[in-house]
């Protein structure tokens, strides 16, 4: 999670919400990184999770990320939760829960929906206080 928090810092100085993500392979190597770039790129799909998943898929050379773990600083939204399922990630670890848009238990639970063909293991709340404080600081500064 420390690596994902460090990745989130790359969004500082932009109008992007500081969310960071890393994909780690079964051996513990980081094979994908991403931070929010929606504002910087004008791309509505440029969420940290999607960018990290894309980078990991390029590294592996295919779309299946079996054996890999996505670590992200905020509970994924519905788009990102769908990408997690579709990429066949084995595990999702996230920090802060997102009561407004979270799709891994807060509003919806996309990744554990039994109707889908893949359900990763989920670990939530890892360093949640630290990640939440960084997000609150961003929004306080962004709205001032």
pLDDT in tens, 3-31: 999 999 999 888 999 999 999 999 999 99
80 is in an annotated binding site: yes
Where along the chain do its domains lie?
Answer: 1-139
Verify whether residue 49 is a known catalytic residue.
yes
47 among annotated binding-site residues: yes
Q: Which residue out of 7, 37, 49, 75 is catalytically annotated?
A: 49
Please provide the CATH number assigned to the domain covering 1-139.
3.40.140.10
Would you state the pLDDT for residue 102?
Answer: 98
Task: Report helix angle 48-60 to 78-86, nearest 10.
Answer: 20
Query: Annotation-wise, does 68 bind a ligand?
Result: no
Q: What is the mean pLDDT of the chain?
A: 96
Q: Give 28-81 pLDDT, tens digit per residue.
A: 999 999 999 999 999 999 999 999 999 999 999 999 999 999 999 999 999 999
Q: Specify the pLDDT at position 143.
A: 63
- Reported as a single tens digit per residue, the pLDDT across 116-133 is 999 999 999 999 999 999
């Amino acid at each position: 999670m420390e690596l994902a928090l460090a990745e989130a810092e790359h969004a500082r100085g932009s109008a992007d919400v500081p969310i960071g993500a890393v994909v780690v392979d079964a051996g513990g190597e980081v094979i994908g990184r991403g931070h929010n770039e929606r504002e910087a790129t004008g791309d509505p799909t440029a969420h940290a999770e999607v960018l990290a998943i894309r980078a990991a898929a390029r590294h592996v050379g295919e779309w299946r990320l079996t054996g890999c773990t996505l670590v992200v600083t905020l509970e994924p939204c519905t788009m990102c939760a769908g990408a997690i399922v579709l990429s066949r990630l084995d595990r999702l670890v996230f920090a802060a829960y997102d009561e407004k848009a979270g799709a891994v238990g807060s509003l919806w639970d996309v990744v554990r929906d039994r109707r889908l063909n893949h359900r990763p293991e989920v670990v939530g709340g890892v360093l949640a206080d630290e990640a939440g404080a960084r997000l609150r600081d961003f929004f306080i500064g962004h709205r001032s």
